[in-house]
């Protein structure tokens, strides 16, 4: 690799655009700055933070969509003398279907093939691809790399990737994909540093945030995960229900007269913690509330997440370590404590002081299963993949 390569990492959501600038050298990418546009389409605003944590800029922006946000970002980078240094861009792309099992440079037919996958992730892929297309139009010579959230789970055995449906549906793409793969891949890369020789053992990673899922790892590869064909499945989330009997959807169609759009909105935006509490999908707000409905939502989250962890431990044939990550997993010691208490029968013994101090290792020395808090960094793993592919393409 060249002595230094500067990479732009983009993560486009429905009304947001996260970005980061990395310097990649022969060892590991180093973040220079990061930030995000929020409220695109309504009340747009921009925050840019240097990696040391000092606020660099926070301002309103006139950007109303991803194309305008990227234009604003490129102008800011140019004025800061940083744009000329950018060699490539890496993107989080939620869905890679069955064909994309690893990151890929966006060239040739790749973009057209990704557009064909939009029906598999209609809430996410259009925004991911809009960012790629906007950057391509504004910086046409820049190499772009797509990094897929589904790719990490392609290591799962066939029994985990199939549904009990006729083969024709599997061949048409109805299969268990799994998501949050970039987060799990980053955590897997960090396990040797913390777990030592246990890193390749039986590990469950709990990615608990607005979107939440669990992943069972063995030899640091995904062997089972809770999300399936879409990010709706698995454990309860902020606004998604998690596991749901498909007969409920049939009942809504036949008896309640709901159409596909109404069901889509109900399942993606009005269920989960928000639906249970009627107050909020934000765990922090629910924990601060004394309303019984808020307590119900929290209790439901803990119960069903603990139940799913136990199920994955069964799939692994035991458990050596439990890792908490993402917004709730990293920042809610009370939720971690309740989950570990519910799983004490597995041999988990939590160190209460370490847990409330937000330490890395959270379990006591006499715990049969070690418990960890490891912050995730999807942007870092995207930068790593982008640097590698760009280097390989120039060799």
Q: Which residues pair with 90 in a beta bridge?
A: 9, 145
Of these residues, 51, 78, 116, 149, which one is catalytic?
A: 149
- Give Cα separations from 227 to 129, 299, 316, 326 (angstroms): 22, 21, 17, 16
Tell me the C-alpha distance between 269 and 238, whole Å: 9
Closest CA to 282 of 334, 327, 226, 235: 327
Structure tokens at 17: 């655009």
Question: If DSSP codes are grouped into helix, strand and coil, which group holds residue 252?
Answer: helix
Within 10 Å of residue 30's Cβ, how many Cβ atoms?
Answer: 14
The answer to whether 53 and 43 are in contact (CB under 8 A) is no
Is 245 an active-site residue? no
Using alpha carbons, select from 212, 218, 139 the residue that is nearest to residue 180.
212
Q: Hunting for tokens 């220079």 — which residue is that?
A: 32
Helix (H) or strand (E) holding 224: strand 221-225
SS3 302: helix
Cα distances from 238 to residues 205, 270, 282, in angstroms, run 19, 9, 6
Q: Please state whether beta strands 104-105 and 370-373 pair in parallel, antiparallel, or not at all (unpaired).
A: unpaired
Helix, strand or coil for residue 310? Answer: helix
Tally Cβ neighbours within 10 Å of residue 336.
24
Q: CB 109: neighbour CB atoms within 10 A?
A: 8
Phi, psi (degrees; rounded to nearest 5) at 285:
-65, -40
Which residues sit opposite 8 in a β-bridge? 21, 89
Give the three-class secondary structure for 57: strand
Q: Which has the closest alpha carbon to 88: 7, 27, 166?
A: 7
Radius of gyration of the chain from Cα atoms? 21
Catalytic residues: 149
């Amino acid at each position: 690799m060249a002595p230094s390569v500067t990479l732009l990492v983009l993560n486009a959501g429905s009304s947001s655009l996260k970005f980061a600038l990395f310097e990649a050298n022969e060892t590991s990418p180093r973040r220079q700055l990061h930030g995000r546009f929020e409220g695109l389409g309504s009340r747009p605003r921009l925050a840019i933070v240097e990696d040391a944590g000092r606020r660099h800029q926070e301002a309103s922006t006139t950007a109303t969509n991803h194309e305008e946000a990227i234009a604003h970002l490129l102008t800011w980078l140019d004025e800061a003398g940083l744009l000329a240094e950018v060699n490539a861009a890496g993107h989080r792309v939620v869905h890679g279907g069955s064909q994309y099992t690893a990151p890929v440079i966006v060239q040739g037919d790749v973009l057209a093939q990704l557009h064909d996958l939009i029906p598999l992730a209609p809430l996410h892929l259009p925004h991911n691809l809009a960012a790629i297309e906007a950057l391509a139009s504004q910086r046409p010579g820049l190499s772009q790399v797509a990094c897929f959230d589904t790719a990490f789970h392609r290591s799962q055995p066939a029994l985990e990737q199939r549904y009990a449906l006729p083969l024709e549906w599997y061949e048409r793409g109805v299969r268990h994909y799994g998501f949050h793969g970039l987060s799990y891949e980053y955590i897997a890369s960090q396990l040797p540093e913390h777990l030592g020789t246990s890193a390749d053992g039986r590990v469950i990673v709990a990615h608990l945030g607005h979107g939440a899922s669990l992943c069972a790892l063995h030899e640091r590869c995904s062997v089972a995960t809770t999300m399936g064909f879409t990010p709706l499945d698995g454990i309860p989330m902020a606004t998604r229900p998690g596991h749901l009997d498909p007969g409920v959807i049939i009942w809504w169609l036949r008896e309640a007269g709901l159409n596909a759009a109404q069901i889509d909105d109900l399942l993606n935006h009005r269920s989960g913690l928000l639906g249970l509490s009627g107050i909020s999908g934000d765990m922090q707000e629910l924990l601060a509330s004394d309303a019984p409905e808020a307590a119900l939502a929290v209790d439901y989250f803990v119960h069903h997440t603990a139940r799913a962890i136990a199920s994955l431990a069964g799939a692994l044939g035991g458990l050596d370590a439990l890792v908490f990550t993402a917004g709730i997993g990293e920042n809610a010691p009370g939720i971690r404590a309740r989950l570990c208490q519910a799983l004490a029968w597995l041999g988990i013994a939590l160190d209460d002081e370490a847990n409330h101090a937000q330490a890395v290792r959270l379990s006591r020395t006499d715990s049969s299963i070690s418990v960890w808090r490891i912050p995730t960094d999807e942007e870092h793993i995207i930068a790593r993949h982008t640097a590698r592919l760009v280097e390989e393409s120039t060799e």
